[in-house]
C-alpha cells in the first residue's frame, strides 16, 4: 500500500481535493476499470466490526476520507491526512469536467420512479445536464434490484459506452457491488457515492455553509434525519476506539523505553 495512510486498517490516499481530482481524471482517461471509494468513520468502523470488508475497501485505486472523523483519527494516530475530501464534491467536479470532454456517464442507484416522481437517477441526470451543458449522460438505473437482475444491469452499463459510472446504493452495498463485478464492468472509472444522486436530484440537501465550515455536517444530517442515530453512533465508537488504540501504543513504547 505504497504512499497510503493506514487508519485502523483502511488505507487512505493522502490527497487534497485538487490532487484527488487529478487522480480521478487520470483514471477516467486510462483503459481498464479503476475505482474510488469514499469511506467515512462509519465505514471504517464497519470494517473493524466486519473484517472481510477490508479487502473490498482497500482494493480501490483511490480511497479518500469523506468525513472529518477520519481526519481527526489520522491526527490522533500521528499520521495526519491533509484534509477531508467529500465524495459528492469530487462527483460534482467530475460532472463539470465530463461536460467538457463529452465522456459518457452512467448513474446507477437511488429510488425508483413513483406515480409522483421520476426515478432519482433520471432526475439527477436532468438536473446535472441543465447545470452542465454538454454533459453526456448515457444511462440511468435505479438502485433497487435482485441478484438475478445484476447481469442485465451490467450489460446495460457496458452497452451504454459509459466511461464514468456512479454507484449510489449506500455503504457498504455499493462498494461490495463494484468489487464483486469489477471483472465484468467495461467502464474506465467507477465510484461508490452514497447519497450523491439524491443531492444531484435536489431531494437531499448538503448542509448549509456554516455546518460545512465548522466540520459539523454530521450534526446537520443527524438533525435532519434523527433515524440515522443508530448508524451515527459508529462515529464516537470509532474515535474512542482510535484513542484507546493510540494510548495502548504509547504505553507499550513507554514500557520498551524504560
Residues that bind ligand UDP (CB under 6 A): 109-111, 120, 143-144, 168-171, 173, 194-195, 197-198
Contacts for 82 with CB less than 8 Å, ≥ 6 apart:
14, 15, 16
Min dist. Cβ of residue 200 to ligand UDP (A) = 10
Give the Cα separation of 108 and 167 in Å (integer): 5
Min dist. Cβ of residue 255 to ligand UDP (A) = 41
For the chain, how far is it from start to end, CA to CA, in angstroms?
33
Give the Cα separation of 86 and 40 in Å (integer): 9
Nearer to ligand UDP, 168 or 191 (CB): 168
Q: Give 172's DSSP letter.
A: T
Min dist. Cβ of residue 66 to ligand UDP (A) = 8
Cell, residue 183: 471483472
> Rounded to 5 degrees, what angle do the CA atoms 101, 141, 106 make?
15
Min dist. Cβ of residue 249 to ligand UDP (A) = 30
Residue whose Cβ sits closest to ligand UDP: 143
Nearer to ligand UDP, 99 or 168 (CB): 168
Nearer to ligand UDP, 77 or 143 (CB): 143
Nearer to ligand UDP, 223 or 244 (CB): 223
Amino acid at each position: 500500500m505504497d504512499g497510503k495512510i493506514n487508519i485502523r486498517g483502511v488505507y487512505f490516499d493522502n490527497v487534497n481535493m485538487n490532487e484527488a481530482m487529478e487522480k480521478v481524471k487520470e483514471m477516467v482517461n486510462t483503459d481498464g476499470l479503476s475505482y474510488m471509494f469514499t469511506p467515512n468513520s462509519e465505514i471504517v468502523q464497519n470494517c473493524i466490526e466486519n473484517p472481510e470488508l477490508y479487502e473490498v475497501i482497500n482494493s480501490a485505486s483511490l480511497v479518500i476520507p469523506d468525513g472529518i472523523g477520519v481526519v481527526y483519527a489520522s491526527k490522533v494516530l500521528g499520521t495526519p491526512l491533509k484534509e477531508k475530501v467529500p465524495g459528492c464534491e469530487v462527483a460534482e467536479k467530475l460532472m463539470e469536467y465530463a461536460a467538457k470532454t463529452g465522456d459518457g456517464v452512467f448513474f446507477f442507484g437511488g429510488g425508483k420512479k413513483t406515480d409522483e416522481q421520476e426515478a432519482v437517477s433520471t432526475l439527477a441526470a436532468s438536473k446535472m445536464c441543465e447545470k452542465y451543458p454538454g454533459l453526456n449522460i448515457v444511462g440511468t438505473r435505479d438502485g433497487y434490484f435482485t441478484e438475478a437482475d445484476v447481469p442485465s444491469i451490467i450489460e446495460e452499463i457496458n452497452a451504454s459506452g459509459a466511461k464514468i459510472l456512479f454507484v449510489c446504493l449506500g455503504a457498504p452495498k455499493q462498494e461490495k457491488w463494484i468489487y464483486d463485478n469489477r471483472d465484468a464492468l467495461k467502464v474506465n472509472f467507477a465510484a461508490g457515492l452514497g447519497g450523491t444522486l439524491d443531492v444531484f436530484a435536489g431531494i437531499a440537501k448538503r448542509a448549509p455553509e456554516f455546518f460545512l465550515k465548522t466540520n459539523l455536517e454530521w450534526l446537520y444530517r443527524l438533525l435532519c434525519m434523527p433515524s440515522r442515530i443508530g448508524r451515527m453512533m459508529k462515529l464516537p465508537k470509532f474515535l474512542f476506539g482510535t484513542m484507546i488504540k493510540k494510548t495502548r501504543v504509547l504505553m507499550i513504547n513507554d514500557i520498551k523505553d524504560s
